[in-house]
Amino acid sequence: MYDDPLTLYKLIVLYMLNRASEPLTTAHIIDFVLGKDYTDFLTLQQVFHDLREADLIHSRTYRNRTQLSLTQEGRQTLHFFENRINNVIKDEINLFLKENEITLRNEISILGDYYKSTSGEYEAHLVAKEKGTNLVEITLSVPRQEIAESICDNWQKHNQEVYQALMKQLLV
């Protein structure tokens, strides 16, 4: 089908990012591609690298998750070559995105990261987004890295309860 199999894998990634309503993590794309046995993990890492180098995708890393989004150049490239993706593959991608929509959105919308501040404390930076708009953004200073890590992990699990408690207390 292709002289260079990487071309198809690159188009699959571009198509997935174009069809998703929010950025996707590398883990989401890896789950789909490896789950369908299209290629192996190392080849997919090369695809991500090549797409970033060509400025077709943009990546941002939060703790252990890398989010990918399509650049304008990536969108244009996909527009020219989308017809080279088999309709069966497109249908599989669309189904994957539909079936995992809530999980995908939650993983992208809830961000927690920490860093060591100039004062020597650790700052846990927590964000809850909806459709690209920050609903809540909190920065907590703590004395130890383990505490900052725990806060970020718990934010992933309990963000809705924290947000509701804040709203309840602040709207009284």
The CA distances from residue 154 to 47, 118, 150, 170, in Å, are 33, 25, 6, 22
Same domain, 20 and 69: yes
Same domain, 148 and 129: yes
Same domain, 61 and 23: yes
Contact 65, 25 (CB under 8 A): yes
Torsion 22-135-160-124 (CA) sign: positive
Owning domain of residue 67: 5-99
Which of 99, 116, 150 terminates a domain? The answer is 99
Higher pLDDT, 170 or 130: 170
**What is the number of structural domains in the chain?**
2
CATH of the domain at 63: 1.10.10.10
| Residues in Cβ contact with 168 at an 8 Å cutoff, skipping those fewer than 6 apart | none
Same domain, 76 and 159: no
Same domain, 15 and 38: yes
Same domain, 95 and 21: yes
Same domain, 28 and 56: yes
Same domain, 21 and 82: yes
Contact 67, 156 (CB under 8 A): no
Same domain, 76 and 30: yes
| pTM over cut 0.75 | no
Same domain, 11 and 93: yes
pLDDT digits (tens, 9 = 90+) for 21-80: 888 889 899 999 999 999 999 999 999 999 999 999 999 887 667 889 999 999 999 999
pLDDT digits (tens, 9 = 90+) for 83-140: 999 999 999 999 999 988 877 776 667 888 899 999 999 999 998 887 678 888 999 9
1 pLDDT exceeds 50?
Answer: no
**CA nearest neighbour of 11 among 54, 41, 42:** 54
Same domain, 133 and 80: no
Same domain, 114 and 43: no
Which of 54, 69, 99 terminates a domain? The answer is 99
Which of 65, 82, 99 terminates a domain? The answer is 99
3 pLDDT exceeds 80?
Answer: no
